[in-house]
Structure 1
Amino acid sequence: MSIVSPELAGETPYIWRARQPQSRHRLICFPHAGAGATAYAEWAALLPPEIELVAVQLPGRQDRIAEEPFSEVGPLVSVLTHALRPVLGGSYSFFGHSCGAALAFELAKALRAKGQTGPEHLFLSAQAAPGATGIRQLHDLSDDEFRDAMLTLGGIDEEIANDEFVMDSLVPVLRADFSLWERHRTAPEAPLDCPITVLAGEEDPQAPKDSLDGWRDQTNAEFTLRFYSGGHFYFLDSPGIVVSAIAEKVLGAVAGRTA
């Protein structure tokens, strides 16, 4: 009998989910700058049935393109602590790529501050650790320079890159996201108690190797650093390898708790 993969579908303005009734764990994913929940659509078929995929949809993209993106981190995180409550129960982890990694980290801290159960594991991808220096700031570049920087980083389909109308709509959202997170300074707080796994491309100019080890100071639990071939969007080249590594970590921890 063939197995039909679940489809990622919108359930609320902020929550897209690929429902897995038999799942034991939920992986909640935060997309990179300018991207929407469907950046993780392919993962629904790659994850084992024990893990349910949730992707976060933020204002200003895809079906929420008419809405203004957030301009401050505090209000964004505050809204998400409420908007994501339907998926924050039981066993779950966060995955975030680039700006999405910074958001996942801030949300984990906010949940702790509220006395709520946080993620069992943080997977932070292509994001320099808090306080890292020497990272090129992109949000205040001229329009032409900013567009060139986005295309150089990658992650934009060739069809979109060649469509001036679409790019004209996308660039302001990208700039808003980069401005939001490049201006943000995370408050110094006690380390989290959940394990942190940092994933990065070997040749990523926005998250170079020497900018990543600082994440070690943000957890009292296990810290793992993994590198993959590629640049800032390494995970788009080999999603199966990345998803398998995440599933192995997650299911090993779940099995350990139930043994």
Structure 2
Amino acid sequence: MTHHPANPWVRRSRPQPRPAMRLLCLPHAGGSTSLYRLWKDLLPPEVEPVLVCPPGREDRLDDPLPDGIPELVADLGRAVVPLLDRPWAVFGHSMGATVAHELVLWLLEQGHPAPEHLFVSAREAPQHHHGGSVHLLDDDALAAELIRLGGTAPELLAMPEVRQLVLPAVRGDYRLIETYAAAPAGPVPCPLTALVGAADTELTAEEAAGWEKWTTGPFQLLSFPGGHFYLSESPHALVDVVCRRLLTPA
């Protein structure tokens, strides 16, 4: 995995000068690039995965979290601009889906080309934004919430040293998404696919289907077996779907 010290936001395990497509992959609240660790071996050579690493995790533990989603999006947007010299798409999971939508809008506002596709995973559409107060929980309750969602191994969260590393970013990200205004500037001018786990208790089919409002292009809602972290349970099937949408001519 490579990244330039001047651009700590991205990790490029297979850097290519002229790929057919670059796919930006954004993690969930408190998540890291490990969410997509298998994708580099599942994506075809013509699709270059670009994994986004927000502040507060991995080698960015000391980097401060932004004050809000708009600041996060602007910082990320400036970091990925050099990669938009090739056709690109973006996949965001949970909180990452919200950030992905806002990122596309920010880049368009700055005059950059639209993506070929926007994938929003395990996230309700903005008009159904839940908000919440998870970021106000104490460490025990916050760890319990992570275990309930299924994205973190319970045995890891039982280790004080792991909690000390993981929970600050989790709490910070929950603060960002739970205080998010949920008022995007508008729809995106590209195809949008919403993806959900059939057993995900964090959103309803109606909330996921609401993403259709946020594109002027084709929309599709797809369901996979599993819960909120279905993408870790069915990575091959998911990546196959993503590739078919990116590489099949319209």
TM superposition score normalised by structure 1:
0.89
Identical aligned residues as a percent: 36
**Contact 1:30 1:55 survives alignment (8 Å):** yes
**Contact 1:135 1:206 survives alignment (8 Å):** no
| Counterpart selection for 1:80 from 76, 82, 88 | 76
Letter in 2 for 1:170: V
**Contact 1:122 1:197 survives alignment (8 Å):** yes
| Counterpart selection for 1:56 from 52, 64, 85 | 52
In the TM superposition, residue 132 of structure 1 has moved relative to its aligned partner by 0.8
In the TM superposition, residue 133 of structure 1 has moved relative to its aligned partner by 5.6
Letter in 2 for 1:127: R
Structure 2 counterpart of 1:16: 11
Per-residue CA shift, 1:27-67, capped at 9, x if unaligned? 11111111222321210000011111101111100011122
The separation in 2 between residues aligned to 1:144 and 1:215, in whole angstroms, is 34
SS in 2 for 1:84: helix
The separation in 2 between residues aligned to 1:54 and 1:214, in whole angstroms, is 27
Unaligned 5+ residue runs, structure 1?
Answer: 1-7
Structure 1 counterpart of 2:93: 97
The separation in 2 between residues aligned to 1:138 and 1:172, in whole angstroms, is 13
Residues 39 and 9 of structure 1: CA distance in aligned 2, closer, same or farther (over 3 Å): farther
1:224 pairs with 2:217? no
**Contact 2:122 2:197 survives alignment (8 Å):** yes
The separation in 1 between residues aligned to 2:206 and 2:165, in whole angstroms, is 34
Q: CA RMSD in A?
A: 1.8
TM superposition score normalised by structure 2:
0.92
Aligned pair count reads 247
The separation in 2 between residues aligned to 1:159 and 1:212, in whole angstroms, is 32
Per-residue CA shift, 1:81-132, capped at 9, x if unaligned? 2111121222110001011111100000111212211211000101111021
Residues 210 and 139 of structure 1: CA distance in aligned 2, closer, same or farther (over 3 Å): farther
Residues 155 and 167 of structure 1: CA distance in aligned 2, closer, same or farther (over 3 Å): same
In the TM superposition, residue 19 of structure 1 has moved relative to its aligned partner by 2.0
The separation in 2 between residues aligned to 1:38 and 1:148, in whole angstroms, is 21
Letter in 1 for 2:119: F
Letter in 2 for 1:120: E
The separation in 1 between residues aligned to 2:121 and 2:183, in whole angstroms, is 20
Letter in 1 for 2:136: D
Unaligned 5+ residue runs, structure 2?
Answer: none
Letter in 1 for 2:3: G
**Contact 2:130 2:178 survives alignment (8 Å):** no
